[in-house]
Chains A and B, each alone.
Chain A
Amino acid sequence: MLYNQPSPLETRVLSRRFGLPDSASLDTYLATEGYRAFMKAAAMKPDEIVNEVKASNLRGRGGAGFPTGMKWSFVPRTSPKPKYIVVNADESEPGTCKDRVLIENDPHQLIEGVLIAGLAVDSHTGYIYVRGEYRYLIEILDKAIAEAYAKGWLGKNIQGTGFDFDLYTHTGAGAYECGEESALLESLEGKRGIPRIRPPFPAVAGAFQCPTVLNNVETYCAVPAILRDGGAAFAALGIPKAGGTKMTCLTGNLNKPGVYELRLGFPVMRMIEEVGGGIPGGRKLKAVVPGGSSCPVLTAAECEGATMDYDSMAARKTMLGSGGVIVMDDQTCMVKAALRIMRFYAHESCVWCIPCREGTTWLKKILTRFHEGGGRRSDIDLIGDIARNMLGRTFCPLGDAAAMPTIAFVEKFREEFEDHLDGKPCPYEHAEHMVMA
């Protein structure tokens, strides 16, 4: 089902079937050009498929933004080992709820994207790793997979092409870190989701130590459109060097929150005002986290002139990330926001590397003390200091994900931290919600 009304400002490529009757069914999929891209790809050489994806300028939609075609080209196709296609559906970056909508409304689009990746790298087995909380999506996927097997879109000799492919769902059991690719692979192998030391990268030694393509749900979902309409057409929807649309989650203080498919390069202020319906109650915009909680926050002033794409965000020292936009109005306490985000990372740290384990724990303690009115002036610099000492010093990006937003909160909203000094109560909280340390 759809949880929000579509916006006329959307460019619906991946979401084109959303809202159709029984949009998750194979019949609806086939009636709307479904699996046509697979048939086209089955008649192409693997290199031609990879080149089409390269031409689309598709970049990974899970957060890192790595060029997808290039990632696929790293897989040693002639390796005698089996190759695997793994789907990252461990969506858990706070602010992000797009993969859920893609799977729920159009599971066959994901299956078709996986099949095309299989053709491109000579893989015959795929796994969809779904976060444990999304049990209903596993049911939807299992149903779609069963339907595809029954009608010859999965299994042996798919539609007479001579191509075999088996696809399975695999449930996680609650761990943000398993969204990181090497941790996900450990988890898929029945272990703790501790990240692997890289290189080797998954393209060479991934699932079961075999060559593996591992992408986010949204990345695979873009592939059928790229093969069907051509890489150039997809590229033209975006900006130079980054093609297509982005499933964008508008969350936080908005009149019309929801998941909307917007062209890369969509202006941030227009997105907030016109797509998201602006901020409720006539309040003003204070800040925006553009791509999930690990991305540094932008002030309202920085949002002026910014566009939703990799370059514009990089120029503002933040990231497009997963497309989880978190909008904060002028009643938001930034100390409280920084604290809640740090509580999350402290909870999710696997405590394997020390800078992440100690850093998130101490930052949580200091931010808690601060928000409860027990902060010291020297703590403001201490917060930034601890966070900067985590950067680049951990095996997986979780340490950076915790440090980067914290540094931005302190640097850009230092006066709000100062407002909490000398035992003053939080200016944004009513007294009954305060618990003194």
Chain B
Amino acid sequence: MTFSPQLEARFEKLLKSYPAGRQRSALVPMLLYAQDEVGAVTDELIDEVAARVGVTALQVNEVLSYYSMLRRKPLGKYHVQVCTNISCLLNDGDKLWEHACKKLGIGHKEATADGQISLEEVECMGACAWGPAIQVNYDFHHFVTPDKLDEILDGLKDKP
């Protein structure tokens, strides 16, 4: 597999970060950073990362199923994650989630037909004092009202 020069540089740095013989430590970070570029942890990616860190594809599979951010199938280009955990819930995070589903006509871990936007109801994302909060890919948005959410989603529709 070929990756961008930035990702290759990141891999190289990661593999040097751990003690000799402990390169398996780079496994989860490499999968997540690669997923950001490839869109999902594909069979091909599993084989590639397994070879680079020196484990079997089976061992990679065993590890990746534990981590909620790693996914085997691609979602939308912009993955909108709505927190409904307790602090956000107290500020109507659950109603924000319902609003997002209705507006896009999709549900949990589903993407729009054009593959542009996907939705996920997520657990606490560490924005508890500024809820309800959402993340679009890795970007946080705080104190999100339904109107603000509409604005954010409209802005993503044609975003390159």
Q: Is the Cβ of A3 less than 8 Å from the Cβ of B128?
A: no
Q: Are B129 and A249 in contact (CB under 8 A)?
A: yes
Q: How far is the CB of A396 from chain B (nearest CB, A)?
A: 14
- B24, B26, B126: which has the most chain A beta carbons within 10 Å? B126
Q: Is A63's beta carbon under 8 Å from chain B?
A: no
CB distance from A10 to the nearest CB of B (A): 14
Tell me the dominant secondary structure on chain A's binding face. mixed
Flag the segment in B59-67, B111-119, B148-156 that touches A. Answer: B59-67
Tell whether A3 pairs with B129 under 8 Å between CB atoms, given A95-B86, A190-B53, A251-B87. yes
Assess the B69–A133 pair: CB atoms within 8 A.
yes
Is B126's CB under 8 angstroms from A251's CB?
no
Decide if B45 is an interface residue (CB 8 Å cutoff).
Answer: no
A329 to chain B, nearest CB (A): 8
Q: A133-B135, A190-B27, A340-B84 are in contact. Are A173 and B32 (CB under 8 A)?
A: yes
Q: Answer whether residue B70 sits at the interface, using C-beta atoms and an 8 A cutoff.
A: yes
Given A96-B128, A133-B126, A170-B25: A340 and B67 within 8 A (CB)? no
B136 to chain A, nearest CB (A): 12
How many residue pairs between the two chains, A and B, have CB atoms under 8 Å in the bound complex? Answer: 148
A252/B66 contact (C-beta < 8 A), A3-B129, A92-B124, A171-B28 known: no
- Chain B, range 54-97, C-beta contacts under 8 Å to A: 55, 62-63, 66-70, 84-87, 89-91, 94-95
> In the complex, are the beta carbons of B86 and A293 less than 8 A apart?
yes
Q: Smallest CB-CB separation from B26: which chain A residue?
A: A190
A-B contact pairs, 25 of them (CB 8 A): A95-B128, A96-B126, A97-B127, A97-B128, A99-B126, A132-B32, A133-B126, A133-B138, A134-B126, A173-B31, A175-B67, A175-B68, A189-B22, A190-B26, A191-B24, A193-B66, A249-B129, A293-B124, A326-B86, A326-B87, A326-B90, A337-B89, A341-B86, A344-B86, A433-B98
- A-B pairs, 3 with minimum CB distance: A174-B69, A174-B68, A190-B24
A131-B126, A190-B55 given; name 15 further pairs at CB < 8 Å.
A91-B126, A92-B124, A95-B124, A97-B130, A133-B126, A133-B138, A190-B26, A190-B27, A190-B28, A250-B129, A253-B90, A258-B129, A326-B128, A332-B90, A340-B86
